[in-house]
């Protein structure tokens, strides 16, 4: 639960149109609450999850009501919330996560005193006649919590001055909780040129509750759709986009690729993707919740003893990898295609934080050009101008990524400038998540216990106990002969000690030579760690791209460092207890600097402009 206690969206952690000052994390398993932790946000970066600092516990209870529905109650002492806490200013947002990548969130601010209002905007149709007033901007008002009074609405259109008065049922009006009302505004297209576009959106609402806007502005063509490629947010020039099929369900609808396509016009490349949900939704809590973790890390985390936590943001990434010239040599292998450029849009809560195209130089990715883009409710289209590129039978691979790694990827396909053809799916296995398993690796040398890390989760509930100077290692055999792209490396261990107060351990990421049985490179380490419990993390930030030879492998090494107790690692489990794992190339791209524009945010289906009624 995120709490905004000062009614200031510009301060605190940006989530659900709030500036959250406090965070309550209630966790449990087996149908019972185990822990409720209160943290305070102490960072000037409104998106940095590691800005949360633990300050105390919260009273909590869970049970079923007479209808059989489960309820959770949380109570926080006023003195823990400090100044400028005022009960009449508190607003809340809720997020639920099962630690298995399934999440849900509230999308309107809740204050417990007045109702909340969601305003969903869309176009009645996307093609208008060339003259006369026609139904166009459709707004649906939905009330939550308490009755809501809507006094007035201020819409605007482009070109300006074209919207008329609402056709029927316009404000003022009242809504009861759970009630919806749809109102339509007409637009006059008289005098507008054929093939031109119009748009309309809501600027503000006068109401007695908190509110937010949902969806992109309403857009339409006048007379006929443009026959040329345009970034206009209408997407009618992408008919026949290639459908994507998945062998297993994609864990997040907002990153589930349904269709993708590309086209080259001169030196411009146009790209398209359609999703199963709202794109660039992001993750409000980009770290798994540890079970009964010792106080000290808050909602954020640690990279080991003495190491300050780095920036951790729940961004989503939309990427298109391009092979611009099929006769050129070199490139990076993505889904069986040697690519020389990639296009990326990165953001959270429907806000784009960076958008650019990068070029492969032979040793690293370099920024090349900015992008032009437009979003729909479940679509995005992008244009990149590449005057220095040679386009010859160019091909693309679409991909979606979140803070945990690759979520969905499409097969390689030609752009529209080339002849279409069929391409079978190729699994991308050089970044993402691997579970620590109890299977032997290809090289069983170098550690007291040698095991393998695999893509699939186990089910055998194993543990290894270290004494003295013993160590346990897990090799990621999938990485042999591959290139691990730049990003953060992270281990997430279910780790315990018989004497946690004085026993420490080290976590080390290595490149291991399987032929000579020796370390080639130490990527990074967390040393002298004394944190124990479920989901204890060690993160190595900003690791550069790593080319792994065919006789080498990425190795995770855990070794007992000192103290009077043993160190036990639980792994190879099919549940969230004992599912120790590691991540390679978590996509943050800290080494690339971008101009960033911050704005108001909200959790679900966020429009490019949202407002909330200021506190009175």
Contact 558, 505 (CB under 8 A): yes
Predicted pLDDT at 585: 67
Mean pLDDT is lowest, of 226-230, 355-359, 538-542, for 538-542
Q: Please tell me the distance from the alpha carbon of residue 288 to that of residue 265, in angstroms, as a whole number.
A: 44
pLDDT band for 616, please (50, 70, 90 cuts). very low
- pLDDT tens digits for 492-512? 899 999 999 999 999 999 999
- pLDDT tens digits for 271-291? 999 999 999 999 888 877 655
Mean pLDDT is lowest, of 74-83, 470-479, 568-577, for 74-83
Predicted pLDDT at 396: 92
Average the pLDDT over 256-279 and give the result.
Answer: 93
Taking Cα atoms as reference points, which of 602, 596, 598 lies closest to residue 18?
602
Residue 457 pLDDT > 90, yes or no? no
Query: pTM above the 0.85 mark?
Result: no
Residue 144 pLDDT > 80, yes or no? yes
Average the pLDDT over 364-378 and give the result.
Answer: 90
Predicted pLDDT at 309: 59
Which DSSP string do the residues of 454-517 spell out, in sequence order? Answer: ESS---S-EEEEE-TT-EEEEEEGGGTT-EEPSEEEEEEEEEEESSTTT-EEEEEEEEEETTTT
Distances from the Cα of 121 to the Cαs of 63, 204, 279, 532, 538, in angstroms? 38, 12, 17, 48, 44
Share of the chain above pLDDT 90, in %: 48
pLDDT band for 27, please (50, 70, 90 cuts). confident
- pLDDT tens digits for 88-100? 778 888 888 776 6
Contacts of 442 (CB under 8 A, 6+ apart): 475, 477, 480, 514, 553
- Show the beta-strand stretches assigned E in 223-371: 242-243, 257-265, 268-275, 316-323, 332-334, 337-339, 341-348, 351-360, 365-370
Which of the pair, 428 or 502, is modelled with greater confidence?
502
- pLDDT tens digits for 298-313? 344 333 334 455 678 8
């Amino acid at each position: 639960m995120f709490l905004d206690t000062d009614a200031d969206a510009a301060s605190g952690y940006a989530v659900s149109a709030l500036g959250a000052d406090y965070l309550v994390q209630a966790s449990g398993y087996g149908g019972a609450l185990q822990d409720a932790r209160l943290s305070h946000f102490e960072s000037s970066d409104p998106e940095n999850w590691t800005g949360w600092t633990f300050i105390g516990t919260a009273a909590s209870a869970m049970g079923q009501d007479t209808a059989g529905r489960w309820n959770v109650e949380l109570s926080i002492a006023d003195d823990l919330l400090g100044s400028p806490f005022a009960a009449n200013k508190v607003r809340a947002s809720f997020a639920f996560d099962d630690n298995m990548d399934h999440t849900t969130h509230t999308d309107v601010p809740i204050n417990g005193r007045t109702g909340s209002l969601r305003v969903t905007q869309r176009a009645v149709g996307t093609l208008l006649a060339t003259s006369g007033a026609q139904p166009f901007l459709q707004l649906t008002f939905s009330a939550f919590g308490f009755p809501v009074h809507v006094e007035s609405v201020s819409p605007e259109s482009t070109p300006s001055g074209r919207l008329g008065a609402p056709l029927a049922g316009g404000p003022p009006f009242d809504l009861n909780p759970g009630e919806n009302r749809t109102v339509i505004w007409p637009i006059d297209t008289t005098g507008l040129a054929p093939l031109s576009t119009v748009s309309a959106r809501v600027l503000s609402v006068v109401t007695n509750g908190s509110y937010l806007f949902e969806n992109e502005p309403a857009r339409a063509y006048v007379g006929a759709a443009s026959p040329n490629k345009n970034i206009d947010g209408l997407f009618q020039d992408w008919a026949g986009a290639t459908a994507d099929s998945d062998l297993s369900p994609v864990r997040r609808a907002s990153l589930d690729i349904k269709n993708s396509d590309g086209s080259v016009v001169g030196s411009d490349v146009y790209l398209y993707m359609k999703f199963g949900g709202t794109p660039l939704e992001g993750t409000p809590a980009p770290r798994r919740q540890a079970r009964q973790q010792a106080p000290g890390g808050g909602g954020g985390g640690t990279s080991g003893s003495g190491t300050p936590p780095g920036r951790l943001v729940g961004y989503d990434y939309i990427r298109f990898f391009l092979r611009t010239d099929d006769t050129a040599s070199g490139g990076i292998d993505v889904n069986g295609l040697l690519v020389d450029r990639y296009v990326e849009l990165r953001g959270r809560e429907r806000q784009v934080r960076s958008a650019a195209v990068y070029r492969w130089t032979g040793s690293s990715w370099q920024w090349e050009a900015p992008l032009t883009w437009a979003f729909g409710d479940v679509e995005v289209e992008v244009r990149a101008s590449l005057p220095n590129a040679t386009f010859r039978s160019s091909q693309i691979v679409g991909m979606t990524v979140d803070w945990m790694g690759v979520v969905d990827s499409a097969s390689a396909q030609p752009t529209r400038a080339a002849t279409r053809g069929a391409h079978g799916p190729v699994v991308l296995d050089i970044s993402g998540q691997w579970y620590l398993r109890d299977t032997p690796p290809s090289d069983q040398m170098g550690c007291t216990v040698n095991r393998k890390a695999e893509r699939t989760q186990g089910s055998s509930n194993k543990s290894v106990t270290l004494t003295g100077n013993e160590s346990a290692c897990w090799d990621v055999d999938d990485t042999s002969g591959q290139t691990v792209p730049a990003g953060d490396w992270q281990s997430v261990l279910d780790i315990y000690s018989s004497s946690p107060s004085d026993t420490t351990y080290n976590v080390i990421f290595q490149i291991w030579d399987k032929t000579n049985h020796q370390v080639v490179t130490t990527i990074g380490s967390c040393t002298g760690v004394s944190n124990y419990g479920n989901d204890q993390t060690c993160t190595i930030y900003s690791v550069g791209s790593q080319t792994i030879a065919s006789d080498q492998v990425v190795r995770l090494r855990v070794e007992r460092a000192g103290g009077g107790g043993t160190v036990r690692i639980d792994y190879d489990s099919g549940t969230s207890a004992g599912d120790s794992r590691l991540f390679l190339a978590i996509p943050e791209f800290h080494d690339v600097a971008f101009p960033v524009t911050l704005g108001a945010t909200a959790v679900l289906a966020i429009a490019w402009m949202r407002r909330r009624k200021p506190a009175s």
